[in-house]
Amino acid sequence: IKRIAFDDYHKSWCEIATTKATESRKDPMPVPYPHLKALYDGLEKEDLQEEIEEQDKEFNYIMYGAFKKGRKARVTLDKKLARINRMKNCYIMDKPLEASTSVTQDLPTRTKPVQPNSNTQDEEMCDKEVDSLVGWTAQLNLDELEGD
């Protein structure tokens, strides 16, 4: 087993092939990197490492986009407080709304206040309903029901 350059390998297989490659497929290096041909022919370890790093950067740029923006500078406490005060001025009113505004005057008001039912009243109503259901079921005629 002996090592040969990729160009020699590719050339020999192109001669052996029964069908000829089209012009667009004759280039053995489909991706045009500046030093890619040297990778196939053999590079020194440092040069190879540099080329790998360049390709890795290009891959990351293509896959994940460019993130060259540095982190924002740390916001100081004074800047945070100033921003909070600006937001307070925008969103919080200095004085409360008056009771008689045009919006509240147009709204209908209830004439009779609703009083909440006490628990005892609810229980009494439920008991009456249960008693009436028990009385109704007792009056049912089983013969008529089975006949249907």
How far is the C-alpha of 39 from the C-alpha of 144, rounded, in Å? Answer: 98
- The pLDDT score that the predictor gives to residue 9 is 86
Instruction: Give per-residue pLDDT as tens, 18-40.
Output: 666 666 555 555 556 656 666 66
Question: Got the DSSP string for the chain?
Answer: -----HHHHHHHHHHH-SSPPPGGG--S--S--TTHHHHHH---HHHHHHHHHHHHHHHHHHHH----PPPPPPPPHHHHHHHHHHHHHHHS-SSPPPSS-HHHHHS---SSPPPPPPHHHHHHHHHHHHHHHHHHHHT--HHHHHH-
Which residues of the chain register pLDDT less than 70?
18-43, 66-73, 93-118, 147-148
